[in-house]
Amino acid sequence: MALYNKGSGRSANRLADQRRFKINLILKGMIVVFGFFVIFVLSGGWKTGLFVIVPVGFIFIKLMKYFESEVRATRKREKHALRGAKGEDNISDILSNLSNDYLVLNDVETKQGDIDHVVISKQGAVFVIETKAHGGKVTFEGGKIFINGKNPEKNFIGQTLRNAYLIRDDIKELTGKIVWVNAILCFTNAFVDHHKAIRGVQVLNKKFLLRYIERNKPRYPVPEIWEKMKLR
């Protein structure tokens, strides 16, 4: 079994918690607005005439609709974050099946965000894995990826490349050497039409992940990477 930490999905779960907290704040805001409206009515505000009642009623309805739409949107984003955390846990479990010649680091913190997974072999091969839990089908056209025929909500290729550069710079700082970092965009649920490299990023389905890692050996072994990254 590979040496690995069990911290996968921490950042995604933290994001889900933040969105859940936002939902609670919105619901409290709805209660406050409703409370003010009830006080207005009970205190005889309805007697002030249409020139007051109509604007107050209009504002009340608009605010409640706004709060409702924000709750729906935030709940949807919360579900996405939880789905992402589950996907990262799934990939972490798969990576744990690598031999003890591999070091697996989950949810690696950097100054520019968290990286889902980093894998390092004893010979110094380095892999950065960006995990996506989208369902459906991944296809390729014109050097781009499409999910169910649509553009992804983010630039997944650019995100994966950025993470690869961050780890490359981190390793350079630790060892003084520039190494090749294998960038992988891995889908846990979607069917990938065929495995393809886009701008140097290998796009594949989770069932081919271990095979890809085990087949890719470093051109120029840098074994000290293994030891120094274990101390992170």
Query: The whole model's pTM is what?
Result: 0.73
Place of tokens 């605010």: 63
Please give the residue that has the higher pLDDT: either 71 or 102.
102
Q: pLDDT-derived band of residue 129, with 50, 70 and 90 as boundaries?
A: very high
Tell me, what's the pLDDT at 210? 92
* pLDDT at 78 exceeding the cut of 70: no
Tell me, what's the pLDDT at 224? 73
The DSSP output letter for 180 is -
Q: Residues in the chain, how many?
A: 232
- The SS3 of residue 59 is helix
Q: pLDDT-derived band of residue 42, with 50, 70 and 90 as boundaries?
A: low
The DSSP output letter for 188 is S
Q: Where do runs of H (alpha helix) occur along the chain?
A: 10-42, 50-95, 156-175, 209-215, 224-230
DSSP 116-176: EEEEEETT--EEEEEEE---SEEEEETTEEEETTB--SS-HHHHHHHHHHHHHHHHHHHHS
Q: Within 10 A of 6 (CB to CB), how many other CB atoms are there? A: 13
Please give the mean pLDDT across all residues of the chain.
Answer: 79
Please give the residue that has the higher pLDDT: either 168 or 229.
168
Q: What are phi and psi of 143, to 5 degrees?
A: 75, 20
Q: Which range, 17-31, 69-83, 112-126, is most confident?
A: 112-126
Rounded Cα distance, 226 and 98, in Å: 15
Place of tokens 């520039």: 178
Contact status, residue 154 vs residue 185, Cβ threshold 8 Å:
no
Alpha-carbon dihedral 204, 206, 210, 211, rounded to 10 degrees: -50
Tell me, what's the pLDDT at 56? 66
